[in-house]
Amino acid sequence: MTNKRLSVVVTGANRGIGLELVSQYLTDGWQVHSCCREPELATQLASLASNSALSIHQLDVGNPDSVDNLGLALSEHSIDLLINNAGIYGGERQSFGDIDYEQWARVLNVNTLGPYRVSTALADQVENSERRLIVNVSSTMGSIEQYASGGHYIYRSSKTALNMVTVNLAHDLRSRGITVLSVHPGWVRTDMGGSSADISTPTSATGLRQLIDDVSIVDSGRFFSWDGSPLPW
């Protein structure tokens, strides 16, 4: 399985950081497999479809059958880079004594189990590539050492658990030459981050791409910020 150009899979590609990563990788000449739950509603993503290097796939990372279908659709492709970007916040009921338990389970399914499902479904394709890299988009809100304040139970626990998935994947896939990272994209001006956030989506995506270019297998199992600085678990 060989491709003429480097290939990337981006989940949660219909808006925000995911959409910007798709745009930037297309500009750089990559083959881009973009994934989102409802492609028919992804108008901004569809506007990039005039580029023949872009393919758009239906994917719900919280649905095992949907993930299996993606694995089948990409079974004959090599994937240099898998970016597990899809994620949800989980609403406002995340404080002590006021938790939406059904939403908590949903967020864990998407934010934690989702990246594991996709990584498992595409591990062979990543192994059969040149770059062999899996990047899980996490958050400093999942850092046990760095975040001292309370609240945000649902979102924080999902990203802390994702960081543990990253460490485990790094151990289990090292023998196959696959590098696995967790990354913090910054506080970004997106639908989730809000208009008062620190940085723009182009700034975050550009920093993430530079980080991705710079890492190697010796960095596998580590946690980095979008600007390349290491983060504590």
For the chain, the structural domain boundaries read 7-225
Residue 187 pLDDT grade (very low, low, confident, very high; cuts 50, 70, 90): confident
pLDDT at res. 1:
42
Q: Are 117 and 61 in contact (CB under 8 A)?
A: yes
Interacting residues of 128 by C-beta distance below 8 A, sequence separation 6+: 1, 78
Residue 57 pLDDT grade (very low, low, confident, very high; cuts 50, 70, 90): very high
Tell me the pLDDT of the chain averaged across its residues: 93
Which CATH code of 1.20.1110.10, 3.30.830.10, 3.40.50.720, 3.30.70.100 fits the domain covering 7-225? 3.40.50.720
Side chain identity at 63, as an amino acid letter? N
Side chain identity at 149, as an amino acid letter? S
For the residues 170-195, what does the mean pLDDT come to? 85
* Neighbour-count burial of 150, counting CB atoms closer than 10 A to its CB (0-12 exposed, 13-18 middle, 19+ buried): exposed
- Residue (of 137, 142, 132, 91) closest to 114 by Cα position: 137
Percentage of the chain beyond pLDDT 70 is: 94
Most distant CA atoms of the chain, gap in Å: 55
What is the pTM for the complete model shown? 0.94
